[in-house]
Amino acid sequence: MSQRNIAGTDQLTAATETDDCPLPEVLALIGGKWSAQVLVELGRGPRRFTQLERAIEGISRRMLTLSLRDLERSGLVTRTVYPDAPPRVEYATTALIDEIREPLEALSAWARHAAPAITAARQAFDEGRREA
């Protein structure tokens, strides 16, 4: 909390003091290996299945399907089938996501900015272990 705003402390207290903090559930939902990337990609606009598959790089059909199903089931993503031939399915984000996008991006920004420090810390830690 670099710029500790006035109301920030209350927020912090609220989020920190409740013991039924549902953070684990969110992380279970978007903390999977691919869910976050699917969300990010869909945040750029509606996408078709194969579009996502190509955009995400490294994801398998299976995992993409599972991730999409989970997100759809949880109401974060909609799935619309157009009765065309060949079949066409479009995925899009729901309003629920609009409110999580900012925190997610803040997290992503932190990741970019903290990455060097983390890498350095790990190297230092590992070297310390080796000479011990």
Contact 33, 63 (CB under 8 A): yes
Taking CB under 8 A as the rule, which mask of x and - marks residues 59-88 in contact with its own copies? Answer: -------------xxxxx------------
Contact 38, 52 (CB under 8 A): yes
Contacts of 100 (CB under 8 A, 6+ apart): 30, 76
Taking CB under 8 A as the rule, which mask of x and - marks residues 103-132 in contact with its own copies? Answer: xxxxxxxxxxxxx-xx-xxx--xx------
Among 65, 108, 119, 123, the residue binding DNA under the rule CB under 7 A is: 65
Which two structure tokens, joined as six digits, stand for 33?
């290996």
What is the distance between the terminal CA atoms of the chain, rounded to a whole angstrom?
A: 35
* Three-state secondary-structure class, residue 45: coil
- By CB under 8 A, which span of 32-40, 46-54, 59-67, 85-93 interacts with its own copies? 32-40
Least distance to its own copies, CB of residue 121, Å: 3
Beta strand extents in the chain (DSSP E only)? 47-48, 77-82, 88-93
Binding site for DNA (CB under 7 A): 32-34, 48-51, 58-63, 65-66, 68-69, 79, 86-89, 91
Binding site for its own copies (CB under 8 A): 1-5, 7-8, 11-12, 14-18, 21-27, 29-33, 36-37, 40, 43-44, 72-76, 96, 98-115, 117-118, 120-122, 125-126
